Amino acid sequence: MSRVCEFCGKGPSSGNTIVRHGSPKYKGGIGLHTTGITKRRFLPNLHVVRIKDDNGNVRRVKLCARCIKSAKIQKA
């Protein structure tokens, strides 16, 4: 199942989940220490929407929330 917006092409991106332990220095501690870094995925906010294409046909497409809000497409 594709997780890509069919209008703008926005897809999943990657990043890190960082786990920090310790007490911050401004609270009197010795500072925060990174104790674990794992990969994670940021998924786009996709919705299945019925739209009218150029030929006037109604079809279902996956669009991100930004494309739906911008009103670049015509809903059926």
* pLDDT 10s digits, 49-62: 999 988 889 999 99
Checking if the pLDDT of 26 tops 80, the result is yes
CA 11 vs CA 1, 43, 51, 52, 73: distances in Å: 12, 7, 20, 23, 19
Q: How far is CA 45 from CA 33, 65, 67, in A?
A: 32, 6, 10
At 3, the pLDDT band (50, 70, 90 cuts) reads very high
Q: What is the pTM of this model?
A: 0.74
Amino acid in the structure at residue 69: K
pLDDT digit string (tens) for 28-50? 999 999 999 999 999 999 999 99
Q: Label residue 67 exposed, middle or buried (CB < 10 Å: 0-12, 13-18, 19+).
A: buried
